[in-house]
Structure 1
Amino acid sequence: MKILIYSANYAPEPTGIGKYSGEMAEWLAAKGHDVRVVAAPPYYPQWQVDPNYAGYGYQRETLNGVDVWRAPLWVPKQPGGLKRVLHLLSFAVTSAPVMLRQVFWSPDVVLTVAPAMACAPMGWLTARLSGATAWLHVQDFEVDVAFQMNLLKGRRIQQFALWCERRLMRAFDKVSTISGKMVEKLHAKGIDAQAIELFPNWVDVNAVRPLDGPSDYRAQLGLRADCKVVLFSGTWGAKQDLLLIPEVARQLQHRPDIAFVICGDGVMRPQLEAASKGLPNVHLLPLQPKERLGQLLGMADVHLLTQSADAEDLVLPSKLTGMLSSGRPIVATCRANTEIGHVVAQCGRVVEPGQANTLAQAVLELVDQPQARAELGLRARAYAEHSLAKDPILLRWSLKAAPQGSSLPVAAKGETL
């Protein structure tokens, strides 16, 4: 099967959409499919083009068996509002001729990954001109998020943007998204039920698993043996409500046996560094290599999943899959009736967003109850193995996307559909 993936974010970006688009393309190529990707140069989450790609225009490379076509884009130093819109539009414009060129390759499926809804028209057009299945995959509802978080303002502008979004989505043969609540959102937007598919993010449960011994990171950070680590690992963006973590750490300074580790990068770095200054129980780590992810997540005794209330159920944080697979309990800031709340309630604690006091209490509760931590960690791991394992999820997608009569990958021993 010939598969064209149209995703502004792509490997070697280590987090978010780039990570998942990269893993998907490489998995499909390894299964024998012919895979091409049209993407921007890596720039996320630092919001700066990778030095290995800087200064170049259009590029073509082969990464782990995948034919990757790069189109340049404008990357603002301080993304937000109109700048973010122009950023996405710049890629939609520069990538358009690259996408049209793929028509002569005659793909069977064109998968357009959103956000970057600005790219949806060209993804749809390329599919139609190729006679391919037009598939739109929604990683988050960027229009809703932009207005709910006041990145964009204006009632008429919002109504027009949502109208355009609905028209675009309805034009695709298939529209998928990553969670049950987000599937409900697609229904509410008027998408045909027959076109909607659940296509969740995944985790490599073999690469990220409960550790048999102490993580290497404990020695690297100089943490004492009895120290309990409360870990946030992910993108440092506005949707994460990250400044809540230093506030909780400040409240718990009287507990020298608790250390907060915040790992990642993003636009909130200056604010997070300023808020953490003078707090000896807070350790900031830059993004870590992919091959050390298991050790990083296994360092946690408790995972933190902070989230802005404005983005609830419009996004499902990709970092959640690794937290669950590591077999550690999670404390999440969200409402109980959200998708995140339903998942975390099974394997951790859910507290209201923006409440440092209640978040600190939830952290203390788990830190001081080792038996509860162990039981919740087992539940987290079981959920990951049952619902988030990488191979079954990608195999199901490839079967659904395949046109009749095309060659399909064969399930390996032990894989289930």
Structure 2
Amino acid sequence: MMRILIYGLNYTPELTGVGKYTGEMAEWLAAQGHEVRVVTALPYYPAWQIDPRFSPWRYCTESIKDVKVWRCPLWVPQKPTGLKRILHLASFALSSLPVVLWQGLTWQPDIVFVVEPAFFCVVGALLASRISGAKAWLHIQDFEIDAGFDLGLLPSSGIIRSSISIIERWLTNRFDRVSTISERMLERLKSKGVFAQKCVYFPNWVDTTKIYPLPNSSLLRQKLGIASDTFVALYSGSMGEKQGLEILLAAAQLLATDYPNILFVLCGEGSAKEQLQKSAKKLPNVRFLNLQPVDKLNDLLNLADVHLLPQLCNAADLVMPSKLQGMCASGRPVIATVLPDTQIAQVLQNCGLTVMPGDTTALTESIIYLATHPKRCLELGKAARKFTINNWQQAKILQQLEQKFDLLCLTPKLEIDGARLEQSLKSD
């Protein structure tokens, strides 16, 4: 059995995004008999408000399903902007540094596993692994630095970006293993100068026994009073700047008069939600729902006739949306606004539709097509479910991770350094 120290910004009980997956991974590893500890922040995402059950500026510990969790304070801006996001991430890196170092020094883990975002935490993870003799593993859920530049959240100066990229590459190559969640992101990782021997494909997953097509109509549909002949186009997830959700309201406006039986449902929380609600005030075919609890997630996903996955053009392949697995597992087709050569487009080749980012007309036409072709909608949904079972089953993916952890712990440090030296000689 291994001692595994997990270090990251987000964790259970956060219901969406990175925290959901980190929590499920930690609990699964603990259930296999491994000792698992977590250093994380106070829960705040996706509402961008610290959970009222926690004191904003206090450290605390708790035990969740045999996982010992250390929670560290952080600053959470009410309206996150580029600079505020940086300060937000830095506040956690600073408050958590003494905790992760103490865990490395006193607990002596076998593996220190750090999750990006936040990249600010990689220094603490490396130091903790060095003082404990542990292997260091960096898992990238989101190329946050690239996204920050490409989305205009960070200064666009070439010198600044080049300098940060050099630091990023140097720090990343200090890890024994570096994983990420899609094949395209893995290619990007290698193109950034990370040694190929270190790179690992570790996708997100879904529990297909908990998310599955319901044989009958969703109870949530009945509760909300949505007629059985209404075609529901559902967006469920975080409502932030990276999602480009404005296009959904633009499509709803185009459909409001001629297709009153098509209803847009937007469910979730995030920094952009308030503005979206203001923009949708006069749209009768748009409804907002609060984030649903875990035990209602399958009912929510089955509310949809089609799932909507808007993405900004310059965010493609910087992230692999974690919501996609649940969408496909529910047996419903997905319409995504992505470029044709992206990973998301490849996934949806046989189980959904894709349109160009920002193309409101194409998105509208795709929704109309599925709303008026129920047989095709059903076929795509079945294909989505099949793809999920073949590629994203939780137990299979986490078993493979456990095996990689075992192999890494048995790998002599000399062998890893040798691979690094070999790659350096090739690049020279």
TM range, smaller chain? over 0.9
Q: For residues 143 and 80 of structure 1, what CA distance do their matches in structure 2 show?
A: 14
Match of residue 135 from structure 2: 133
Q: For residues 151 and 342 of structure 2, what CA distance do their matches in structure 1 show?
A: 17
Shift of 1:81: 1.0
Shift of 1:54: 2.7
State the secondary structure of the residue aligned to 1:61: strand
Q: For residues 404 and 312 of structure 1, what CA distance do their matches in structure 2 show?
A: 36
Match of residue 218 from structure 1: 221
State the secondary structure of the residue aligned to 1:262: strand
- One of 406, 410, 418 as aligned partner of 1:404: 410
Q: For residues 238 and 13 of structure 1, what CA distance do their matches in structure 2 show?
A: 19
Gaps spanning 5+ residues in structure 1: where? 406-417
Match of residue 199 from structure 2: 196
Q: For residues 369 and 275 of structure 1, what CA distance do their matches in structure 2 show?
A: 30
State the secondary structure of the residue aligned to 2:336: strand
Equivalent positions of 1:286-365 (< 5 A) are 286-365=290-369
Moved over 2 A (4+): none
Q: For residues 55 and 366 of structure 1, what CA distance do their matches in structure 2 show?
A: 46
Conservation of the 8 A alpha-carbon contact between 2:239 and 2:271 = yes
Conservation of the 8 A alpha-carbon contact between 2:48 and 2:78 = yes
Shift of 1:156: 1.8
Instruction: Confirm or deny that 1:284 pairs with 2:285.
Output: no
- One of 150, 153, 156 as aligned partner of 2:152: 150
- One of 222, 225, 231 as aligned partner of 1:228: 231
Q: Residues 355-387 of structure 1, C-alpha deviation per residue, up to 9 Å, x if partnerless?
A: 111100001111111111111111100111010
Q: For residues 63 and 52 of structure 1, what CA distance do their matches in structure 2 show?
A: 15
State the secondary structure of the residue aligned to 1:235: coil
Q: For residues 56 and 166 of structure 1, what CA distance do their matches in structure 2 show?
A: 33
State the secondary structure of the residue aligned to 2:137: strand
Match of residue 412 from structure 1: none
Q: For residues 65 and 123 of structure 1, what CA distance do their matches in structure 2 show?
A: 22
Shift of 1:404: 2.8
Match of residue 415 from structure 1: none
Instruction: Confirm or deny that 1:239 pairs with 2:242.
Output: yes
Q: Residues 221-275 of structure 1, C-alpha deviation per residue, up to 9 Å, x if partnerless?
A: 2111111110000000111110111111111112122111000010001211012
Q: For residues 62 and 320 of structure 2, what CA distance do their matches in structure 1 show?
A: 31
Match of residue 18 from structure 2: 17
Opposite residue 100 of structure 1, the aligned amino acid is: L
Instruction: Confirm or deny that 1:371 pairs with 2:372.
Output: no
Match of residue 33 from structure 1: 34
Instruction: Confirm or deny that 1:87 pairs with 2:93.
Output: no
Opposite residue 81 of structure 1, the aligned amino acid is: G
Q: Residues 309-343 of structure 1, C-alpha deviation per residue, up to 9 Å, x if partnerless?
A: 11000001000010010010010000010001111
State the secondary structure of the residue aligned to 2:410: coil
Opposite residue 134 of structure 1, the aligned amino acid is: A
Match of residue 413 from structure 1: none
Match of residue 74 from structure 1: 75
Shift of 1:56: 4.5
Q: Residues 61-96 of structure 1, C-alpha deviation per residue, up to 9 Å, x if partnerless?
A: 001211000111111111121111111111111101
Q: For residues 185 and 225 of structure 1, what CA distance do their matches in structure 2 show?
A: 44
Q: For residues 203 and 12 of structure 1, what CA distance do their matches in structure 2 show?
A: 17
Conservation of the 8 A alpha-carbon contact between 2:57 and 2:74 = no
Instruction: Confirm or deny that 1:252 pairs with 2:258.
Output: no
Conservation of the 8 A alpha-carbon contact between 2:116 and 2:138 = yes
Q: For residues 169 and 81 of structure 1, what CA distance do their matches in structure 2 show?
A: 23
When the two structures are superposed, what TM-score results if normalisation uses the length of structure 1? 0.96
Gaps spanning 5+ residues in structure 2: where? 412-428
Q: Residues 118-162 of structure 1, C-alpha deviation per residue, up to 9 Å, x if partnerless?
A: 000110111111111100000010110000000011222211211
Q: For residues 188 and 28 of structure 2, what CA distance do their matches in structure 1 show?
A: 29
Q: For residues 338 and 320 of structure 1, what CA distance do their matches in structure 2 show?
A: 14
Match of residue 175 from structure 1: 178
Cα RMSD, aligned residues only = 1.0
Distance 1:262 1:335, change over 3 A: same
Q: For residues 167 and 279 of structure 2, what CA distance do their matches in structure 1 show?
A: 40
Q: For residues 146 and 410 of structure 2, what CA distance do their matches in structure 1 show?
A: 36
State the secondary structure of the residue aligned to 2:39: strand
Match of residue 263 from structure 1: 267
State the secondary structure of the residue aligned to 1:171: coil
- One of 122, 125, 129 as aligned partner of 2:124: 122
Conservation of the 8 A alpha-carbon contact between 2:183 and 2:201 = yes
Opposite residue 392 of structure 1, the aligned amino acid is: K
Match of residue 113 from structure 1: 115
Match of residue 391 from structure 1: 395
